[in-house]
Amino acid sequence: MDLIGKTAIVTGASKGIGLETTKILLENGVRVAGWSRTAPPGNHPGFHHVVTDVSDNSSVERAFDKTVNIFGDELSILVNNAGIGVEGSFETLEEEDWHKMFGTNVDSIFYASRLVIPKMRALGEGHIINISSIAGTNGIENMAGYCATKHAVAGLSHSMFKELRKDGIKVSCIYPGSTKTQFFDEFSSVSAHDHMMMPRDIAETILYILGTPANYLTVDVEVRPLKPKG
């Protein structure tokens, strides 16, 4: 896809992978609507922040309407990046945290994608990138709820790609390993450190995937730090 002049929606755009993805898209001529609860730092003429709770369908619908009002109907890129994780054993995990993770990590993809797909279909092109995790490929002790959501993202992505490829719409799923973001701020068992991948690394991967030829579809990409312990 030729990215210059395209319009993208990035969820969870205020920090981490979402923020770096927003930056790199702007650097490459893409206009970006950043959907998040709080505004990211900085200012760019091609960027508009839209206050959004991606786990709430009504909030997503309002954000979508505002995005179309700002940028028009030609929405070519959707990066479903927003995600949260809660640490804890399966049997002690609070019901509220279970639903919070599914709302942010899974429901948000359903809410946003079904609004954007008709716009992409009308364009005859589009690319949806869903951010899963290596937690979506295997189980992790004391992360059962998070793993469940990221396995769901993988299955959802595979079904979406099979349904939408005939319309010229690409769906790709990325499975990052440990990345130095605020994700680990609330964890007792691990802290973010410099031997992890950097958010910019994942943004570079997203940029590459978006720039592939029209008849070339990247379905799954798993990325990990080479020396996670240094």
| Residues annotated as catalytic (active site), given as ranges | 146
3-state secondary structure 151-172: HHHHHHHHHHHHHHHHHCEEEE
Nearest Cα neighbor of 26 from 2, 47, 10 is 47
CA atoms within 13 A of residue 61's CA, in its CB half-sphere: 3
Residue 138 phi/psi, 5° resolution? -160, 170
Which stretches within 170-219 are classed as H helix? Answer: 199-210
Are the beta carbons of 4 and 26 closer than 8 angstroms?
Answer: no
* DSSP character at residue 198: P
Burial 1-27, CB ≥16 within 10 A → b, else e: bebeebbbbbbbbbbbbbbbbbbbbbe
